């Protein structure tokens, strides 16, 4: 996720649940192909980035292929093509979700990227641009499979919706029925119970978690524990995870990125505390990571009871101090 999938967040997620598959921030194919040095911190792989998929955004097939070849030379697991970003600056260049409106262009991009890499090639997509036209959607995903894409990740909202309404997971089930390659479902998963229900209902091969992974980087561990069916408990030091992520940001990212990346992360992570809005308002006044960490420490010094959180997992559900958030499941 742009400005969120930093090496800092990735490191923390891997410490919490080592099996997680990671994605990079969205990378401009033009900048990668041109060797733009400002991208270096975003494409540097660390020991915890395993497996990591680089995500590319672009609309020019040969530039996309060049970028794909460059990234494939690294130790990344695979390369993903963004066909879902609805951001105005992206779609006006014909990139991201706009590719869903031009199946020929999308085919040409996939074909050239397919030739450029032997590594897994995937597509992350919305279910449409202006609406959910099922037959165009099916034509599109069948084309992706025929061109040799190894799997798709579907966020089943059409692009013009942004994040309005709820993701229509029936389209994930529809994709599953028309494809042989794996389909990963994505959208609105905020609890382990929801992840398990979606996998069960749609038959999808996995789930991708976006926003909740920033607020609760431990969600992957909770999902795995719930799916295992075993009883377990998890004690989390949410204060320590907060400070650790900021510390890793300081360590891994150049100073010019500290403000944007720390603010983006804090916008989500401060949802974990009672006075999160006030805390984030204070954080936003700072540009450097040191003072942000100072504000966080001060908050928890005043509210020590918020630092530790317990989860109890029993029979596939989270119970006790953290009640099951999805009554439909229990």
Ligand X SMILES: Cc1cc2nc3c(=O)[nH]c(=O)nc-3n(C[C@H](O)[C@H](O)[C@H](O)COP(=O)(O)O)c2cc1C
From 26, 29, 172, 266, residue interacting with ligand X (rule: CB under 6 A): 26
Q: How deeply is 257 buried, as exposed, middle or buried, from its count of CB atoms within 10 A (0-12, 13-18, 19+)? A: middle
**Residue in 85, 204, 226, 324 annotated catalytic:** 85
**Residue 96 Cβ vs ligand X, minimum distance, rounded to whole Å:** 8
Q: Is 43 in the site for ligand X (CB under 6 A)?
A: no
CB atoms within 10 A of CB 278: 12
From 184, 209, 241, 279, residue interacting with ligand X (rule: CB under 6 A): 209
Cα dihedral 93→96→98→104 (10° resolution) = 100
CB atoms within 10 A of CB 186: 24
Q: Is 155 in the site for ligand X (CB under 6 A)?
A: yes
Q: Is 189 in the site for ligand X (CB under 6 A)?
A: yes
Residue number with the shortest CB distance to ligand X? 210
Residues 277/316, Cβ–Cβ less than 8 Å: no
**Residue 173 Cβ vs ligand X, minimum distance, rounded to whole Å:** 17
From 6, 20, 28, 55, residue interacting with ligand X (rule: CB under 6 A): 55
Q: Is 187 in the site for ligand X (CB under 6 A)?
A: yes
Length of the chain measured in residues: 330
Residues 86/96, Cβ–Cβ less than 8 Å: yes
Q: How far is CA 301 from CA 89, 242, 304, in A?
A: 42, 14, 6
From 84, 192, 217, 276, residue interacting with ligand X (rule: CB under 6 A): 84
From 112, 186, 216, 270, residue interacting with ligand X (rule: CB under 6 A): 186
Residues known to be catalytic: 85
The residue ranges that bind ligand X (CB under 6 A) are 1-2, 4, 25-26, 55, 82, 84-85, 124, 155, 186-189, 209-212
């Amino acid at each position: 996720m742009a400005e969120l999938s930093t090496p800092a967040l990735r490191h923390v997620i891997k410490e919490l649940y080592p099996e997680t598959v990671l994605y990079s921030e969205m990378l401009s194919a033009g900048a990668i192909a041109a060797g733009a040095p400002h991208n270096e911190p975003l494409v540097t792989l660390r020991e915890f980035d395993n497996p990591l998929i680089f995500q590319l955004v672009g609309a020019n097939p040969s530039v996309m292929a060049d970028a794909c070849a460059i990234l494939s030379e690294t130790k990344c697991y695979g390369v993903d093509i963004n066909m879902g970003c609805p951001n105005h600056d992206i779609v006006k260049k014909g990139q991201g979700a706009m590719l869903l409106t031009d199946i020929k262009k999308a085919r040409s991009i996939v074909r050239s990227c397919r030739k450029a890499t032997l590594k897994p090639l995937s597509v992350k997509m919305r279910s449409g641009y202006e609406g959910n036209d099922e037959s165009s959607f099916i034509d599109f995903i069948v084309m992706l499979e025929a061109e040799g894409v190894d799997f798709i990740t579907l966020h089943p909202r059409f692009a013009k919706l942004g994040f309005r309404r709820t993701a229509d997971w029936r389209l994930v089930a529809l994709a599953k029925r028309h494809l042989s390659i794996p389909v990963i479902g994505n959208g609105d998963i905020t609890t382990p119970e929801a992840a398990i229900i979606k996998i069960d209902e749609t038959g999808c091969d996995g789930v991708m978690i976006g926003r909740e992974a920033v607020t609760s980087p431990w969600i992957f561990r909770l999902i795995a524990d719930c799916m295992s069916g075993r009883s377990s408990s998890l004690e989390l030091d949410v204060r320590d995870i907060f400070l650790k992520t900021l510390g890793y940001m300081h360590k891994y990212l150049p100073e010019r990125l500290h403000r944007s990346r720390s603010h983006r992360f804090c916008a989500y992570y401060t949802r974990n505390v009672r006075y999160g809005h006030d805390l984030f308002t204070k954080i936003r006044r700072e540009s450097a990571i040191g003072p942000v960490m100072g504000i966080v420490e001060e908050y928890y010094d005043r509210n020590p009871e918020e630092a530790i959180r317990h989860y109890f997992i029993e029979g596939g559900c989270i119970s006790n101090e953290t009640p099951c958030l999805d009554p439909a499941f229990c």
